[in-house]
Structures are given as structure tokens and as C-alpha cells.
Amino acid sequence: MSELESLIEIVSLANNMPLPKLSKGVNYDNWSLRMKALLGSQKVWEVVKNGHQELEDVGEMTIAQLVTLKATRKKDKTALYVLYRVVDESSFEKIANVMCSKRVWDILEKAYKGDNRAKQVRLHTLRGKLERMRMKEAEGVAEYVLRVETIVNQLGRNGEMLLACRVVEKILRSLTNEFENIVCTIEESKDLTSLSVEELVGSLKAHEQRRRKKKVESLDQALQAKATIREKKVPYTQNTQGRGGKGRGG
């Protein structure tokens, strides 16, 4: 395949792919995950991640090495073109003269994610959010765990991976009072160091469903009792009115 044909293939490939756009209002971490998946699907992410060093003297290279070099160049250009297309005009000015996909990625990451100091500030903020997070009274187990896992994932994307046991402990000590009994049962019967978040959620949701079923049953019983009382009052009232009428007639 000629260089022109390769270029046409690259352009056609990128033009037919839905690309996640990057701008100031976009969450960089989420964009980064989508782009890694997209570039990986096209088998070019490794070139972006590890970089590609262009060689000037290829005279002593073997045919196999030349084939590999040509394939790597093609991957680098494919990734470069895709990255050019995902940014707005202001960001494009920052990377317009960069001819290496890894360098472009690094520039965008620094521009949108910030330097190491900004990263530490983000980590501090996320840790605080996670520590203060508590389950709301009207919140379900699934909704609350999703909120916790969202912060945990954000910490992970910023370089701080939390062990599953820490996430499990966080969830257990931040539930509402109605989960007190099941929390005690889990702590006494389970090994929290090996308990997965999925297993914990399963136990909590089962408890939640039982409580909801009892509430529905209690409500049904209360409504039935109220209806029974009303039924008893109706004939009593009618009898009272009847006796009163006879007395006046006599």
C-alpha cells in the first residue's frame, strides 16, 4: 500500500468514527477513558502511550524492521489525525505543530488535567468528598453505592487506587440507621478483607427488599384494620338513629 493510500485509509477511518470531543466544559477523565478505548479499538493506543521515535537513517535496517517501522508510523499518524479532530480551535493551536501522537496526548493532558500540584489538590478534594459522604434517608442501596463508586473511580483515574475492603468499610459505616442490624450481622459473619463490593451490595439490597416488603404488608394491614372499623361503625350508627326515631314517635 502506498503512502497516499495509507493516508486515504486513515482519513476514511477517522471520519467514520464517532469521536468524543474535548473542550473546556468536558470532564477530561471521562474523555480520556473514551479516547483510550477508541484508540485501543484501532490498535494505536500503545503508540500514543509509549511514543514513537522517528529514525533518520534506515539504511542498515532489515526488511522486517522496515515493515515494523512503516506500520508504527501509520499507527502514529492515525492516532495523530484522530487527536487533531477531537479538539476545538483554541486547543488545536497548542498542538498544530506537533508531529507525534504521544506528545499531543501529553500536551492535552497537561492543559485539561493540570500539573502534579493540581492533581494533588484534586485528590485532596476527592478524599474529602468520600469521607463526608453519607447515605440519604430516601436513597436506595444501588443509588448510594453508585455515588461512592463514582468518587472511588475518580480517585483511581487520578492515581489513587482504593482496595475493595476500604470501599466496603466506607459503605458499611455510612449507611442509614435502618441498616444497623444487617451491618452488625455482616461484620460478625463475613471476612471484610475478602468481601467484594458486589457481594456487599447483594446482601444490602436483599435486606432493603425485605424491609420494603414488611412496610407494604404493615400498610396493607393498617388500611384493612381502618376499613374494618369503618364497616362496624356504619350499622351502629344506623341502629342508634333508629332507636332515637321510635322514642320521639311514642
Q: What is the pLDDT of residues 87-106, one digit of tens each?
A: 988 889 999 999 999 999 99
- What pTM did the predictor assign? 0.58
26 within a domain of the structure (yes/no): yes
97 within a domain of the structure (yes/no): yes
29 within a domain of the structure (yes/no): yes
Q: Specify the range with the lowest mean pLDDT, choosing from 16-20, 25-29, 92-96, 233-237.
A: 233-237
164 within a domain of the structure (yes/no): no
pLDDT for 66 equals 82
The runs of H, that is alpha helices, within 18-60 are: 28-41, 45-50
pLDDT for 242 equals 56
16 within a domain of the structure (yes/no): yes
Which residues does 148 contact at the CB level (< 8 Å), separation at least 6? 130, 133, 167, 170, 171, 174
Q: Which residues of 132-171 are buried (b: 16+ CB within 10 A; e: fewer)?
A: ebebeeeeebeebbebbeebbebbebbeeeeebeebbbbb
Q: What is the pLDDT of residues 167-209, one digit of tens each?
A: 999 999 999 999 999 999 999 999 999 999 999 999 999 999 9
Q: Is the distance from CB of 84 to CB of 105 less than 8 angstroms? A: no
CB atoms within 10 A of CB 104: 21
45 within a domain of the structure (yes/no): yes
208 within a domain of the structure (yes/no): no
- Kindly report the average pLDDT of the chain as a whole number: 83
**Cell 455482616, residue?**
186
pLDDT for 186 equals 95
pLDDT for 227 equals 65
130 within a domain of the structure (yes/no): no
State the average pLDDT over residues 77-89. 90
The domain total for the chain is 1
Assign 63 to helix, strand or coil: helix
pLDDT confidence band for 225 (50 / 70 / 90): low
Q: What is the span of the domain harbouring residue 89? A: 3-113
pLDDT confidence band for 17 (50 / 70 / 90): low
pLDDT confidence band for 250 (50 / 70 / 90): very low
Which residues does 211 contact at the CB level (< 8 Å), separation at least 6? 178
